[in-house]
Structure 1
């Protein structure tokens, strides 16, 4: 199936586009989300210098009907947002594209990586055009024989972790130092590595079961 990497420009009429442009250095990490034609709900991690001020600005939008703060500190807030304008989520769902979480919104843009049938990829472009959402195709790889084991971002973080000695014994770097070097939040780095490690281990165990016949266990 084709793999594609797209940068989507969220329309300025959508509240998260305006807020993220007002705080261009702040990252809005969408952890979970669902939407229908009228409403949307998203769990978002806000990463920046003043997440409290960002939350207050978000509350001011008429299209944000509810905002609940679950936890917050000087650099991070985790919130749940209900909105009446889930334009981006609706357009993606209408095209039949499964959304891999988490993804980030920054300065009015979101980058998505998808591996879907050609027909679905075409539908995505048509749906974005229909909603008036601008996008740029950064990369397309045709005729992928099988789904990639890891996403491009997972491969990058895992490769950097290996190269910087995170998996050495003793370790030559820590999770905090690795996250700082890659300019991502510690929680983001941990989650990406956890997902990548899980995929690699599952693939290894599956290959091992396929390659070796079952051996009956015996007691002494």
Structure 2
């Protein structure tokens, strides 16, 4: 009798190195579909999991005494986390505010930033990149682009510039293209990008541009 284990059910899987981490602020209006907004903000999300169309969350609230509560709810079609999960990403819902949510997600390559923003825009009024971090093989931070010190308008313009390929080599869009999409003047776009670059972009520009080729 052959005792060799059967190999007919051999499993296969894909391994993708996630060397990037990105955080996004996602403005969704109306946001009444999510009962979490009824909690006093900010609400810190400790864990989120989807089971079919049901969302399970452990959240830390600060209304009075800090406490951790578990919430089970039907997931709305406008949920940013569900949109990314359905696309194969593993987003982490970080915090919830009255008018926006904050998401973090690990990525395999920089072009996924564009894909994520486009998917989030299908359910969101506004999507802005908050930070983009490149992680080394030893888990150290090699390159960090932190946009938290920018104004909302500057972050919106920088996010659009990145996702539309303004910082690619060669450039895929012009300042005029970005201005048309934002419905503002080209001079205003140049001013916003210039201010952003003087604060945070120049220190990581070369590394980011090389990674986008």
Q: TM-score range by the shorter chain?
A: 0.3 to 0.5
Which structure shows the bigger proportion of residues in helix conformation?
A: 1
| Greater relative contact order (Cα < 8 A, sep 6+) | 1
